[in-house]
Amino acid sequence: MSAICRSEQDADHHTELADLVAAMNEAANRVTPPNGYRSNGLRTTSSHRAPMSDRKMSLQERGSRMARQPTIETKRVSITDIDDCVQLNQYKLKKEIGKGSYGVVKLAYNEDSEQYYAMKVVSKKKLMRQCGFLRRLPTQGSNSQQDPFVKAVLPLERVYKEIAILKKLDHHNVVKLVEVLDDPDEDGLHMGRESFILIQ
């Protein structure tokens, strides 16, 4: 019998809680409560849509209404050492937030747009060295079956292929490539990606 009373109490508590949440939603946002009835007792139809500013757009609407900004490609990079960070053009590189085999990801602050970005910094020399391309190539008479030209192109080509793919991708689950800083005279290749939320 106590189980029956407890289930009735839980049901009453659940109903009371649902009514309270519905009243708060209706008062704060003028949203139809979960039961579909407004306070005047009239049932609203499911075809009612919130105004455009109050709802999220569907994937079809998002694709047709928001044009993706093109990726900026910068061929000249000005590098300045400041007290607590390194300045790359308009970006201030702050702390390291990730690390990979060929480079690091740093928190970057864009002084022009006043936004934070994740910047992937790839060392071209380190990439080539770790893949074995800064060593002497085998001589023509050796038993090497690989074409040295094809082998030498692979490491940097993979990075440039990644850039080409990221430039074309436009999906809400994939970070957007905002800018590529690739100075031929410098070792670093910098890829600034869409802003993100940093949880500490």
User: Rg of the chain over CA atoms, in angstroms?
Assistant: 28
DSSP letter string, 28-65? HH-PPPTTSB-TTSPBPPTT----GGGSPPPHHHHHHH
Residue 25 is inside which H or E element, if any? helix 2-29
Cβ contact 167:177 at 8 Å: yes
Which stretches within 137-192 are classed as H helix?
A: 148-168
Binding residues for ATP: 120
Beta-sheet strand order (sheet of 188-193)? 72-74, 177-182, 188-193, 115-123, 103-110, 91-99, 86-88, 79-81
* Helix (H) and strand (E) counts in the chain: 4, 8
Evaluate the CA torsion angle 36, 38, 42, 47 in order and state its sign. Answer: negative
Binding residue numbers: 120
